Amino acid sequence: MLQQLFNPSVLHTLDLIGIFVFAISGALLAVRKNLDVFGLAVLAEVTGLGGGLFRDLVIGAVPPAAFTDLGYFLTPLLATALVFFLHPQVERIQAAVNVFDAAGLGLFCVVGTIKAYDYGLSLTASATLGLATAVGGGVLRDVLANEVPSLLRWDRDLYAVPAIVGATIVALCIRYDVLTPFTSSFAATVAFVLRLLAMRYHWRAPRAWNRRSTVREE
């Protein structure tokens, strides 16, 4: 289905762009954690490839694309080199990086959902793996950096919710047989715009009703 909806070369290029931007976020976190160049490379690789790697292993698409396409492996290393030498400049364009990160989120939740469905998963499972594709790398990045994943923190702008919405739209389009390049692009755009709005207006998920926690808020 993916090959029918998208030109393979265009899809591959978009994949690499998404991986590159995700990898930059991993490398920047490594700099903030004062890790060495190997640590930068590891966090960049994990952040860029982690979600897709997890999805491919779950659906049985082995060996995963990350191990069969050299470009997938080298792209995070390029991001590592960029951050290693130019991290002050990269930090200054963090807003632009966040925009591309949101675009990668929208793309990956759509592609992940469609690929999972192509491998025979149900619509619900496919949408779940679409979410995992979009956010899995960031979760692994935070765990390796000894941080509570941003996905689970109440004080972070909505990240998973836009991916869930995008993946759900794709699943509904498949269910009603209206999945086309236009509708799949629409789903990615919705996730992208929701993420941008969440960053702009600091939208956050609600915490427990009548919460009485003694845990210190960071």
Query: What is the mean pLDDT of the segment spanning 187-209?
Result: 93
pLDDT digit string (tens) for 23-52?
999 999 999 999 999 999 999 999 999 999
As a whole number of angstroms, the distance between CA 82 and CA 139 comes to 22
pLDDT digit string (tens) for 138-176?
999 999 999 999 888 888 999 999 999 999 999 999 999
CB crowding 52-84: b at 16 or more within 10 Å, else e: bbbbbebbebeebbbeeeeebeebbbbbbebbb
As a whole number of angstroms, the distance between CA 111 and CA 182 comes to 14
Q: What is the pLDDT of residue 33?
A: 93
As a whole number of angstroms, the distance between CA 52 and CA 104 comes to 12
In the predicted model, is pLDDT for residue 217 greater than 60? no
pLDDT digit string (tens) for 58-80?
999 999 988 999 999 999 999 99
In the predicted model, is pLDDT for residue 118 greater than 90? yes
Q: Please state the pTM of the whole predicted model.
A: 0.91
